[in-house]
Amino acid sequence: MTGTSVLTRVSSSPMADDSDAFIAEALEYTDQLYGAAMRMTRNPQDAADLVQETYAKAYAARDSFTPGTNLRAWLYRIQTNTYINQYRKRQRQPFEAPLDDLEDWQIGVGESTTATRSRSAEAEAIDRMPAGVVRDALQSIPEDFRMVVYWVDVEGMSYAETAEIMKTPVGTVMSRLHRGRRQLRELLADYAREQGMTAGGKR
């Protein structure tokens, strides 16, 4: 099921009959929410259900949203909490952040990278590692760190957006991101040494 079909499902729900501008703005994030839901659930039907439930909860709580603030982060927080409280409990598994697109990652860097900043040889070597290895390493770090790395490095959220989603100060997000990246880097470096990989990613 695609994000477009999810939008159709949401738009045909009772809440979509309301002409409130909140709904129109919220529905603009359907595809983004569905993409994140797919990465969480790894199942199209579960992802669609998660998005639908996210919108239902958002609509019910719309009076608590302050117009002019970050609606995307607010919706992501509702979706994340819904997944953690319901889907993860049902599946009896930890929050997973699969790495489908390693080339979009900024692993091994102690702070946010920019297009003009050169990357270290270590970071380049990490990019060449198997996705399964990186995923296992990510699952090995504490959840508070893992989720910050997920939101910033996978979803491309800003520090402020991540802080809003996790309801923590920006400073805490930055600290957890630094520690999470460091732990991830150490785990992947251990793998590289075990495999006899050099800084250039060669054996």
All residues at 6 or more sequence positions from 113 whose CB lies less than 8 Å from its CB, including other chains: 106, 119
Q: What is the rounded CA–CA span in Å between residue 16 and residue 166?
A: 28
Torsion angle in degrees (nearest 10) through CA of 155, 156, 161, 165: 20
196: left (phi over 0), alpha (psi -120 to 50) or beta: left
Residue 84 shares a structural domain with residue 106: no
Whether residue 139 lies inside any domain: the answer is: yes
User: Given this model, what pLDDT does residue 116 score?
Assistant: 36
Last residue of a domain, one of 69, 91, 113: 91
What does the pLDDT average to over 117-133?
A: 55
Single pTM value for the model:
0.60
Q: What is the rounded CA–CA span in Å between residue 147 and residue 177?
A: 9
The answer to whether residue 28 scores a pLDDT higher than 60 is yes
The answer to whether residue 98 scores a pLDDT higher than 50 is no
Residue 71 shares a structural domain with residue 150: no
Residue 177 shares a structural domain with residue 108: yes
Residue 145 shares a structural domain with residue 109: yes
Residue 34 shares a structural domain with residue 81: yes
How many domains does the chain fold into? 2
Whether residue 175 lies inside any domain: the answer is: yes
91: three-class secondary structure by DSSP: helix
Whether residue 124 lies inside any domain: the answer is: yes
Query: What is the extent of the structural domain holding 164?
Result: 102-194
Please give the mean pLDDT across all residues of the chain.
73
